[in-house]
Amino acid sequence: MSWYVLVERVRYGESELPSKIPVEGGREAALTRAEEVARSCTPAIHLSGTPVGRMVFQTSPTSWFVELTKSHWSKSDKESATTVEHLTVRAAELVHFQELIPAEPPKKSRFGR
């Protein structure tokens, strides 16, 4: 079928998929693109002009774990604080797709409800 790069973020114990990037060219192209995304993706914690630390771990032939850190000044504590975000980036082949059927309004019953 087709290949994608999936970027997964876990926040507050819940997983979300903020990016699903289609890739032309098969498995090797998807692996190359996934590694590029792991090394360069912009995190949610990123503010324009603020440097972000990054550690990229390859956890399998198709998966990367990314730790992003950002330093900011805490006015309340009057010291530097660090925010950390974790992402998982994967190259994945789409193997099944089923079109979503839009919901329709309920039909009125005999009694008008």
- pLDDT score at 46: 54
In angstroms, the CA 43 to CA 85 distance is 8
The domain spans of the chain are 2-94
- pLDDT score at 4: 97
- pLDDT score at 73: 81
Q: Taking the model in full, what pTM does it have?
A: 0.79
- pLDDT score at 49: 61
* Ordered mean pLDDT values, 10 residues apiece, the chain (113 residues): 92 84 96 96 65 93 94 82 89 94 86 61
- The residue length of the chain stands at 113
- pLDDT score at 24: 95
- pLDDT score at 37: 96
